[in-house]
Amino acid sequence: PTQSYPTRRGEICNILNVDQNSVPDLLRTPKKMRFTKPVLSLWLQSGPSELLSRGRGGRSSVSGVVATVFGATGFLGRYVVNQLGMHGTQVITPWRGDGLNTRHLKLMGDLGQIVPMEFSLMEEESIRNAVKYSDVVVNMIGKHFETRNFPFKKAHVEGSEAIARISKECGVEQFVQMSTANASDKSLSPWVKSKYEAEQVVRKYYPDAVIIRPTDVFGHEDRLLNRICSTMFKYGFYPMAGEGNHFLQPVHSEDVAKVISAVIRDPEGFAGATLVLGGPNPVKMREIVDWAIEETRMVAMPIVTPEKLLPFVAKGLGLRLPLVQPEPIWSKDNAYIEISDNIVREESGVLTFKDLEIVPTDIFSDAGEEVLRAFRRGGDRSSLFYVE
């Protein structure tokens, strides 16, 4: 006979006539579902994903996996939500501020698959509500400039600690932490240091957590190409460290999102892994700036700036001014990261695109040119770009 869904683990054990201590703690499913004894037995053996998955694996299918993506409304977060929705994953997208900031995410999954949920990083109960039904949590919360309420330590370290701790208490099985390439406690950048500290506190609760370390990420709404072009558009110049000979290895946002999606679909294969993601080849900062000027036909020029002076120039360009510049795209940390050569370095025990057999997208490809279209002098359809 069909049994109503039992709300406690002990009731499930009574139905199956098994010892309560021999079954997993994590048994979560909607209360309206009704299970037979064989179905409950399958649940205990293979988990909820096997029961709830249906469809052929596309956007209108259901994978049975529930993922909470903190930072989903940010630049990189929307690409991750899109990749998860593409494979039928139900995605909870916690938000703060204006609920309309999440409306573009609703289109990335079928009806009911993208679930916006209001939360505050300072309220643990709201974090608990966002993760208590999830199989995996992806923490992509980050600030590129400090504010009175959210300095780097509070946003990155204390926030990550709270999310990881509460996720562990709620029985979340998999945790993915977004960090940055070359994260170290010896970095000159306070932003990079805080990212490294966040990794350590997450690994305290999840030793098998997956750490994602991308280099500079480019794409629509990025903080690399948009920073270069908006600075040249506004001031007519772009300050570079030294002669612009420092190397970057920009990685495309879509490539990073695809890797995170693959990690979630294979939790055992990536357990405890650290992935360092960068573009196909290191390129000099000067090459990127010259290419941006050529592609946009902008009347601007790169300015050689002494390395010791660049952090102060960046700090001046990144002043946070109400109404004038509420969300600056520059920060002192941009200078420190550029000076330190933000590239993929050979490290033991880390995975790269090469290990995953993925060919990353080049910044000089159509994907990079698409970002620069908004800054073309004379407009996107100007004859400047069609007549030599």
How buried is residue 1: exposed, middle or buried, by Cβ count under 10 Å (0-12/13-18/19+)?
A: exposed
In the predicted model, what is the mean pLDDT of residues 111-138? 94
DSSP label at residue 64: S
**Percent of the chain, pLDDT > 70?**
83
What local confidence, expressed as pLDDT, does residue 384 receive? 63
Which residues, at least 6 apart from 263, have a Cβ–Cβ distance to it below 8 Å? 176, 210, 212, 270, 273, 275
Tell me the pLDDT tens digit for each residue of 209-248. 999 999 999 999 999 999 999 999 999 999 999 889 999 9
Name the pTM for this structure: 0.84
Q: Which token pair is 186? A: 């010896």
Range of weakest confidence among 22-26, 140-144, 311-315: 22-26
Measure the CA–CA gap between 271 and 95, rounded to whole angstroms: 27
| Alpha-carbon torsion angle 96, 99, 101, 104, nearest 10 | 130
User: Which pLDDT score, from 0 to 100, does residue 205 have?
Assistant: 97
Residue with tokens 């999102």: 257
Q: How many angstroms separate the CA atoms of 224 and 51, rounded?
A: 43
- Phi, psi (degrees; rounded to nearest 5) at 314: -65, -40
The Cα 315–Cα 4 span in angstroms is 61
Burial label, 84 (beta-carbon count in 10 A; 0-12, 13-18, 19+): buried
Q: What is the pLDDT of residues 285-340, one digit of tens each?
A: 999 999 999 999 998 999 999 999 999 999 999 888 888 888 888 999 999 999 98
Residue 19 pLDDT level (bands cut at 50, 70, 90) = low
Q: Inform me whether the pLDDT recorded for 189 exceeds 70.
A: yes
The average confidence (pLDDT) of the chain is 86
**CB atoms < 10 A from the CB of 126, how many?**
16
Question: Which three-class secondary structure state does DSSP give residue 188?
Answer: coil
Cβ-contact 96, 120 below 8 angstroms: yes
Q: What letter represents residue 169's amino acid?
A: E
Say if residues 31 and 5 touch (Cβ distance below 8 Å): yes
Q: Which amino acid is at 246?
A: H
174 confidence band (pLDDT: 50, 70, 90)? very high
pLDDT bucket at 13, cuts 50 / 70 / 90: low
User: Above 50 in pLDDT, residue 128?
Assistant: yes
Contacts for 350-355: CB closer than 8 Å, 24+ residues apart = 350/213, 350/273, 350/274, 350/275, 350/276, 351/273, 351/274, 351/275, 351/276, 352/275, 352/276, 352/277, 352/278, 353/255, 353/259, 353/277, 353/278
Q: What's the pLDDT at 73?
A: 93
What are the tokens at 384?
A: 């400047």
270 and 92 Cβ atoms separated by less than 8 Å: no
Whole-angstrom Cα distance, residue 40 to residue 43?
5
Within 10 angstroms of residue 323's Cβ, the number of other Cβ atoms is: 5
DSSP letter for 342, please: B
The answer to whether 300 and 325 have CB atoms below 8 angstroms apart is no
Report the distance separating Cα 376 and Cα 379, nearest Å.
5
Task: Convert the pLDDT of each residue in 145-157 to its tens digit.
Answer: 898 889 999 999 9
Asked whether the predicted pLDDT for residue 4 surpasses 50, the reply is no
Q: Residue 89 carries which side chain, given as an amino acid letter?
A: T
How many Å apart are CA 350 and CA 344, to the nearest integer?
Answer: 11
- Is 118 or 16 the better-scoring residue by pLDDT? 118
- List, for residues 370-380, the tens digit of each pLDDT value: 999 989 887 76
Query: Residue 326 has what pLDDT?
Result: 86
pLDDT reported for residue 61: 83
Determine the pLDDT at residue 101. Answer: 87
Going by pLDDT thresholds of 50, 70 and 90, the confidence category of residue 26 is very low
Question: How is residue 321 written in tokens?
Answer: 């001014």
- Evaluate if residue 203 carries a pLDDT over 50: yes
